[in-house]
Structure 1
Amino acid sequence: MLDKLRNIMEEKKGKVSSMAIRGRRKAIAMDLKSWMVFSETGESIVEDLDKHSIMRRTGLPSRDLRVLDPTLFYPSSIIGREKSIVVNLEHIKAIITSNEMLIINSSSPFFILFLQDLQARVPRSSNIHKLTSTGNGVDGDSQSTNLVEEGSPLLPSHVDSLNNASKGTLIDVAETSYYKQLPFEFKALEACIESACACLEYENQRLEEEAYPALDELASQISTLNLERVRHIKNRLVALSGRAHKVADQLENLLDDDNDMAEMYLTKKLDDCSIGQTPLTKGCNLAIDEDIDKSDESDMVQYRSYESKPDVEELEMLLEAYFAQINGILQRLSSLSEYVDDTEDHINIMLDDKRNQLLQVSIMFSTMNVIVSAGIAVVGWFGMNIHIDLFEGQPRQFWATVGGTFSGCILLFIVSIWWGKKRYILSQ
C-alpha cells in the first residue's frame, strides 16, 4: 500500500515538473521578439532575442526595455545610458550602441524608408574611416576622388587640399573640422529623428490638403456630412499636434541638459575609457603647467569649471536642426488649428443669425395669431344666440361688418410690425 502511494506521489511530482518546464519554455518563447540588427559596417540581420539577452548585450535595465514594448503606450523619448541609447519616436523603437543598432520591426511604410536612409548613411562613414585610418604609402588621390564621389559634405575650397594627397602627403582629418564625421550612434540617431520628422511632415501635409477644402465647404454650406468631416479632421489635428509636441519636448529637454547629451557620446566614452582620460571635456588635451602661484587659484577654479563642462556642440547642432524642423511643423499645425477655430466662430455667427431670424418669424406669427384671435372674438360675438338690431338689417350691413373686421385686423398687424421695427425688436 505504501509502495502504491509512493509511486502515485512520484508520478504527480513528475507531471508537475514537466508542466513547470513546459510553462518555462512557453514563457521564454513568448518573451522572444524579432529584432533587426544593423551593424556599423552596413550589414543587417534579423535575430530572435529575449529580454535578458538584450539586457546583457546593451547594458540596459529592464525598465528601459518597457519603453520599447509595442503593447504599451509610452510617449516619445530619447534616453542616453552608459553603453546605449534608447529611441522611441513614432514608428521607430530602437536601441543604439557604439557599433550596432537593434530595431523592432514595424508595419509602417516609413519604416522601410528609414531603413533605406540608414543604409545610405553608414557606408559613407566607412569610406571616411578608411581615409582617416590609412597610413603613408597609399594612393591618396584615388581615395580623395572616391570620397568626393560618395557625396561627402566637403567644401569646394578644400577639394584641392584633398588632391594634394597624391603628392605623398596624407591630410590628417582631425586637423580640420570640415572632414569630421559623426560616429555611428549619431548617424543612427539622426536617421531616427529625421524619419520621425518626415512622418509628422507627411501626415501634416495630408491633413492640410483635406482640412482647408472641408472647412471652406462647411463655411459655405452647413450640413451634417460636412460637420462630421470637420469633426474627424479636428480629432486628427489634436492627435497629430500632441505627437509633434512630445517629440519637440523631448528634443528641447535634451538641448537644455548637457549631461544628457554627453551620455550619448558612446564612441567617445569607449575611446576615453581605453586611454584612461576624462570623457567629454574641452580641456582634456590641454597641458597645464604644474607650477601655479597661489595668487592664480581663482583662475584655476575657473579653468576647472570650464574643463568640467561637457563638449556636446556636435550633438547640439544636430538636435537643433531637427528641433527647428519640428517647430515649423508645430507652427503649421497651430495655423491650421486657428483656421478651424475661425471657421467655428464663423459658423456660430451664422447660426446665431439664423436663430435671430427664426425668432423674428416667431414674433410675427405670434402677432398675427393675436390679431386673428381678435377677429375670432368678433365672430364669436355675432354667433351668440341673442337678438340685436344688426341681424334685422340689410345684407350690406353684414358685409360691412365682415370687411371692417378684416381691415381692422390687417391694420393692427401693420401697426404691430411698424412698432417692432421702430423698437428694433424686428430687423429693418
Structure 2
Amino acid sequence: MGRYIITVCCFKSISAREKAMIVNLEFIKAIVTAEEVLLLDPLCQEVIPFVEQLKQQLPHKNQLRIQETGHEKEARSSVGGQSVPVPEAAESLNSELPFEFQVLEIALEFVCMYLDSSVSDLEKNAYPVLDDLARDVSTKNLELVRSLKSNLTRLLARVQKVRDEIEHLLDDNEDMAQLYLTRKRMQNQQHEALLNGTVASNSFTTNLRRLNSNRSGSVVTSNHFDDHDVEDLEMLLEAYFMQLDGTRNKILSVREYIDDTEDYVNIQLDNQRNELIQLQLTLTIASFAIALETLIAGVFGMNIPCKLYVIDGIFGTVVGSTSTLSFLLFLLMLGYARWKKLLGT
C-alpha cells in the first residue's frame, strides 16, 4: 500500500501497473484495480463528493450488470474435453465500461467540473477588476490585477497538466491498452484455464492434442488482437480532452483580455507621460523668456551711473518693452517647438 502511494506522488497522473491503475488528478489520488478503489485522504473536503458519487454510481451499475447476466446461462468454452467458465465481466464488457474505466470516468468528470468551476470564478472576478483598472490606474487596482494574473497562471498550469496527460495517453495505444485491467484479468483466467485443460488432455490421442494446441493458439491470437482494441477508452478520453481544451481556451481568453487591458493602460500612461513632457517643455520655454527679462532688470538694478535714470517716465517704457520682448520670444520658441512637432497641435 505504501509503495503505491509513493508511486502516485512521483509519476504520471494516469499510469498502469501490472494489476492496478494509478490516478493522480488534482485532489483525487487513487489506486484502481479491476474490483476495488483505494483512495488517499478519502475524508478530505474536496474528495468526499467524489466518494459519494462512487457509492451512488458503482453499486447501481454492478447491480444492473448482475440483473442482466443473472438470467443467462453460464457461458463455457470446451477445450480438451473440459468446460472453462468465462468470467462474469466478459459478458458485460461490450454493454458497459469496465469497473476501472467507470472510476476513471467519474474522476475525470469531477476534476473537469472542479477546474471549470475555478475558471468560472476566475472570470467572474477578473472582468470587474480589469474594468476598474482601465478606468482608474491606481496601486490598489494594479495589486488586484497582479494577484489575478498569478491565480490565472497557476490555474492554467493545472489544466494544462491534466490535458497533456490525456493527450499523451491518446497518442500511445500501448499505454491505453495497459489500462484495461478487467480485460487483462479475464485473459489471465482464460490462460490458466487453457493450461489446466491442456494438462488434462494429455491422456487423449495425438490428434486431440493438436486440436487443443490449435484452439489455444487461436485464443491467444484473438487475445492479442483484443489487446489493441482501445476504442472505448479512446472515446472516453477524447470527450474529457475536448472539455479540458474548452476550459483552457476560457483561461486563454481571460489572459488575452488581461493583456489587452494592460496594453490599454500602458497607452494611457504613455499619453499622460507625453502630456507631462509637453507641459515641461512649455514651462521651460516660458522660464527662458522670463529669464531674459530678469537679466535686463538685473542689469538696470546695478548701481552704475546711467543717463536713463534721469529721464522722467522711462521706467514704464523699459518694463513694457522688456516684457513685450520676452513674450514675443516665448511665442517664437513655442511656434518653433510646434513646427518641429515637439508639442501637440
Tell me whether the two structures share a fold, i.e. TM-score over 0.5.
Answer: yes
* Preserved CA contact (<8 Å) 1:110 1:195: no
**Structure 1 residues not aligned, in runs of 5+:** 1-53, 56-61, 138-172, 278-289, 291-302
Q: CA deviation at 1:251?
A: 0.3
Partners of 1:67 and 1:88 within 8 A in 2: no
**Counterpart-to-counterpart distance in 1, 2:47 and 2:287:** 71
Match of 1:383 in 2: 301
- Residue by residue over 1:351-370, the C-alpha shift from the partner in whole angstroms, topping out at 9 and shown as x without a partner, is 11111111101101111111
Q: 1:249 to 1:175 in 2, by over 3 A?
A: closer
Work out whether 1:406 is the aligned partner of 2:296.
no
Partner of 2:49: 113
CA-CA distance at 1:116 after TM superposition: 2.0
Are 2:69 and 2:91, in contact at CA under 8 Å, matched by a contact in 1?
A: no
Q: 1:207 to 1:326 in 2, by over 3 A?
A: same
| 2:108 corresponds to 1:193 | yes
In structure 1, what is the equivalent of residue 186 of structure 2? 271
2:159–2:244 CA contact under 8 A, matched in 1? yes
1:213 aligns with 2:128: yes
| Aligned pairs (5 A) from 1:16-27 | none
Q: 1:367 to 1:405 in 2, by over 3 A?
A: same
Cα pair distance change 1:243/1:379, threshold 3 Å: same
Say if 1:420 and 1:426, in contact at 8 Å, map to a contact too: yes
Q: 46, 49, 62: which is aligned to 1:126?
A: 62
Match of 1:84 in 2: 20
Distance 1:241 1:321 in 2: 19
Shift of 1:176: 10
Q: 1:211 to 1:175 in 2, by over 3 A?
A: closer
Give the distance between the partners of 1:344 and 1:412, measured in 2 at CA.
Answer: 42
| 1:136 to 1:86, Cα distance in 2 relative to 1, 3 A | closer
Change in 2 beyond 3 A, CA 1:236/1:79: same
SS at match of 1:110: coil
The SS at the match of 2:8 is coil
* 1:334 aligned residue: 252
One-letter code aligned to 2:60? R
Residues 3-152 of structure 1 aligned to structure 2 (within 5 Å): 54=1, 62=3, 65-69=5-9, 77-105=13-41, 109-135=45-71
Measured at CA, do residues 402 and 106 of structure 1 come closer, stay the same or move farther in structure 2, by a change above 3 Å? Answer: farther
Against the structure 1 CA distance between its residues 131 and 259, is the aligned structure 2 distance closer, same or farther, given a 3 Å change threshold?
same
* Separation (CA, whole Å) in 1 of partners of 2:266 and 2:121: 27
Deviation at 1:104, TM superposition (A): 1.1
Q: Are 1:415 and 2:332 matched, yes or no?
A: yes
1:202 pairs with 2:95: no
Deviation at 1:268, TM superposition (A): 1.0
Q: TM-score, normalised by structure 1?
A: 0.66
Structure 1 match to 2:170 = 255
Encode CA deviations 1:30-75: one digit per residue, 9 max, x unaligned. Answer: xxxxxxxxxxxxxxxxxxxxxxxx16xxxxxx3x532435xxxx58
Q: Percent identity?
A: 37
Amino acid at match of 1:319: L
For residues 106 and 387 of structure 1, the distance between their equivalents in structure 2, rounded to whole angstroms, comes to 104
Distance 1:217 1:116 in 2: 42
Q: Distance in 2 between matches of 1:368 and 1:402?
A: 17
322, 336, 344: which is aligned to 2:240? 322
Q: Any idea what the Cα deviations from partners look like across 1:268-310, whole Å, max 9, x if unmatched?
A: 1111110119xxxxxxxxxxxx8xxxxxxxxxxxx99x93761
Instruction: Please give the per-residue CA displacement for 1:143-195, whole angstroms capped at 9, x wherever unaligned.
Output: xxxxxxxxxxxxxxxxxxxxxxxxxxxxxx95995xx1112111111111111
Higher relative contact order (CA 8 A, sep 6+): 2
- DSSP-derived class of the 1:68 partner: helix
SS in 1 for 2:46: helix
CA contact (8 A) 1:84 1:96 kept: yes
Amino acid at match of 1:347: V
Superposition deviation, residue 243 in structure 1: 0.5
Instruction: Look up the SS of the partner of 2:96 in the other structure.
Output: coil
Partner Cα distance (1:109, 1:205) in 2: 20
CA contact (8 A) 1:390 1:397 kept: yes
CA distance, structure 2, for counterparts of residue 214 and residue 426 of structure 1? 35
Distance 2:323 2:274 in 1: 30
- 1:157-306 matches, within 5 Å, as 180-276=95-191
State the one-letter code of the partner of 1:104.
L
The C-alpha deviation readout for 1:230-261, integer Å capped at 9, x for no partner, is 00000000000001000000000111111111
CA distance in structure 2 between the aligned counterparts of 1:116 and 1:312, rounded to whole angstroms: 29
Question: CA 1:276–1:225 in 2, change beyond 3 Å: closer, same or farther?
Answer: same
Distance in 1, Cα, partners of 2:15 & 2:318: 95
Cα RMSD after superposing both structures: 2.6
Matched residue of 2:179: which SS? Answer: coil
Q: Tell me, in whole angstroms, the C-alpha distance in 2 between the residues paired with 1:120 and 1:107.
A: 17
